[in-house]
Amino acid sequence: MTVALSIENLRKHFGGFEALRGVSLNVEPGELVALLGPSGSGKTTLLRLVAGLEVEDAGRILFGDVEANNLTLRDRRIGFVFQHYALFRHLTVEDNIAYGLRARPRRERPSVAEIRSRVGTLLDLVQLGGLEKRFPAQLSGGQRQRVALARALAIEPRVLLLDEPFGALDAQVRKDLRRWLRDLHARTGHTTLFVTHDQDEALELADRVAILNQGAIEQVGTSDDVYERPETSFVCGFLGETNRLPVEFAGGQVFLGELPIYGMAHFNTPGPGSLYVRPHDLQVTEGGTGALSGIVLSVRRIADRRRASIAVPGMPAAIETDISSGFAPAVGERIGLRIMRALTFNEAR
């Protein structure tokens, strides 16, 4: 198997803060991998190390079989897109995109006509044809980020690195650009690593998602893998909406207090643990065995679903559950909930 980018046991600290504690990741040619994690998880540090903007304390980075340490920033040929665009304000769109080509040493530099035609092709690719004479100040946020992307693509990068590329844009533009980037990636096939804290973005865009927490990778996998088969309780709690129930494992059963509430655990180790259940995996029942019961606190609408908060005795927080549109419980009403599907982890957190 060929690998376009391999990251081996990378470590980095800033003062007393360990930003990365031994991170390894392989990216295949043409793959789009998302680095997802809360702020401070080390995802941007990882990206900056790959770009060569920071120097690692230990570990190594390889582009194919070339060791990155031996390369200058120019020779790394990294296409980097910053969250706040970092466009050159005093240059037109055209000159921004051509910057990397004109910065090449004279013998490698394309001719003026060639540069112009390359810029034209890139402008069409990012759908900004006709705006080449504008200055960045005259463009919208989404347009600026597309200029930044064209500028990064102009140098024919080995790897494209995107640092929260849509972080500074409003919700609708983000959604449009997400879809557009997906198409663009399908057409151009650049090996891409992108950082985001927006899980919808990561799950929708990426071929694989790497989930970081406190400077280490918790899990790498396809969107379905990480969402449906989380390997750690952090991944389970971080992705999507979940209710965490503090439970007790005994005899292969899951107990909430005295009550067995959910069939078999994944393992047999007795002791305290957590049970994670998503709002759509709870079903409202009339009560009975294996069910939680509680008082309805509120009912509200979230886009195409209705969501109820239920106060269950013994729970640290209210349980969130989806309810069908035909069913309208009153606030204060007592209802039962049955857990249809859940994940259990045996560490106490």
Which residue in the set 17, 24, 66, 104 belongs to the binding site for other proteins (CB under 8 A)? Answer: 104
Which residue in the set 37, 47, 61, 80 belongs to the binding site for other proteins (CB under 8 A)? Answer: 80
165 binds other proteins (CB under 8 A): no
Q: Least distance from C-beta 177 to other proteins, angstroms?
A: 19
Structure token pair of residue 99: 């910057």
Structure token pair of residue 323: 């309810």
**Which distant-in-sequence residues (6+ apart) come within 8 Å of 104 by Cβ?**
110
Which residue in the set 100, 230, 237, 279 belongs to the binding site for other proteins (CB under 8 A)? Answer: 100
299 binds other proteins (CB under 8 A): no
Compute how many residues bind other proteins; rule: CB under 8 A: 29
182 binds other proteins (CB under 8 A): no
Closest to other proteins by CB, 37 vs 157, is: 157
84 binds other proteins (CB under 8 A): yes
DSSP characters over 72-99: -HHHH-EEEE-TT----TTS-HHHHHHH
Closest to other proteins by CB, 76 vs 338, is: 76
From 115, 119, 177, select the one nearest 146 (Cα to Cα): 177
Exposed, middle or buried, 112 (CB in 10 Å: 0-12/13-18/19+)? exposed
Which residue in the set 86, 125, 216, 315 belongs to the binding site for other proteins (CB under 8 A)? Answer: 86
Structure token pair of residue 285: 């029942």
Closest to other proteins by CB, 136 vs 165, is: 136
Closest to other proteins by CB, 148 vs 292, is: 148
Within 254-283, the residues that bind other proteins by CB under 8 A are none
227 binds other proteins (CB under 8 A): no
Structure token pair of residue 7: 């990251």
* Three-state SS annotation for 58-76: EEEEEECCEEHHHCCHHHH
Exposed, middle or buried, 246 (CB in 10 Å: 0-12/13-18/19+)? middle
The piece of 100-108, 195-203, 217-225, 299-307 that touches other proteins (CB under 8 A) is 100-108
140 binds other proteins (CB under 8 A): no
Exposed, middle or buried, 222 (CB in 10 Å: 0-12/13-18/19+)? middle
Q: Find residue 335's DSSP bridge partners.
A: 294
The CA radius of gyration of the chain, in Å to the nearest whole number, is 25
Q: Read off the DSSP letter of residue 165.
A: T
Q: How many residues does the chain have?
A: 349
Q: Least distance from C-beta 22 to other proteins, angstroms?
A: 26
Q: Least distance from C-beta 334 to other proteins, angstroms?
A: 56
Residue with tokens 């047999």: 268
Closest to other proteins by CB, 88 vs 267, is: 88
Is-contact 11 56, C-beta < 8 A?
Answer: yes
Q: Residue type for 114, please?
A: E
Q: Least distance from C-beta 54 to other proteins, angstroms?
A: 10
Which residue in the set 131, 155, 173, 295 belongs to the binding site for other proteins (CB under 8 A)? Answer: 155
Which residue in the set 90, 179, 266, 334 belongs to the binding site for other proteins (CB under 8 A)? Answer: 90
Within 44-63, the residues that bind other proteins by CB under 8 A are 51-53
Within 186-205, the residues that bind other proteins by CB under 8 A are none
The piece of 114-122, 131-139, 217-225, 331-339 that touches other proteins (CB under 8 A) is 131-139
Is-contact 274 347, C-beta < 8 A?
Answer: yes
Residues making contact with other proteins (CB under 8 A): 51-53, 73-74, 76-80, 82, 84, 86, 88-90, 99-100, 103-104, 134-138, 151-152, 154-155
